[in-house]
Amino acid sequence: MAEKKYTKEHEWIVVDGDVATVGITDYAQGQLGDVVYVELPKAGTKVTHMGQAAVVESVKAASEVYAPLTGEIVGANADLEANPALVNSDPTGAGWFFKIKLSDPGELKGLMDEAAYKAHVDSLG
């Protein structure tokens, strides 16, 4: 299985070939609270490294979901639009947001592994 990578903004990414699946971390969904709405990007949308790609709204706040890598959206999680609570119940599985066909795989080097992400979250207090 491919290794998960993380951003400081609390997105996770798993790469399979030249396509990456993106979601938000358990920490992020915990900070948001109960998710009530998601706005996902459409297939064919071009995204840039750390540019806004989706929106997630909870009972507490609205937040952007950023594209960890530059590329083109090749799919979005339709189940999530129908059932936004998947973000809370399974943020690193069924609650994924979108898939990106990578333009620059070299950008993966800027992402954190699980240990580095855990240290980052621990430093937040």
pLDDT under 70: residue ranges of the chain: 1
Which pair of structure tokens corresponds to residue 10?
């609390």
Q: Is residue 3 part of a domain?
A: no
- Whole-number pLDDT of residue 1: 56
Question: Which strands form 35-39's sheet, in the order they lie side by side?
Answer: 35-39, 52-58, 62-66
Q: Where are the beta strands (DSSP E) in the chain?
A: 4-6, 11-16, 19-24, 35-39, 46-47, 52-58, 62-66, 71-76, 98-102
What is the pTM for the complete model shown?
A: 0.95
Instruction: Supply the range of the domain harboring residue 64.
Output: 9-104
Q: Is residue 100 part of a domain?
A: yes
- Whole-number pLDDT of residue 125: 79
Residue type, 116: A
- Whole-number pLDDT of residue 3: 84
Domain with residue 31: its CATH number is: 2.40.50.100
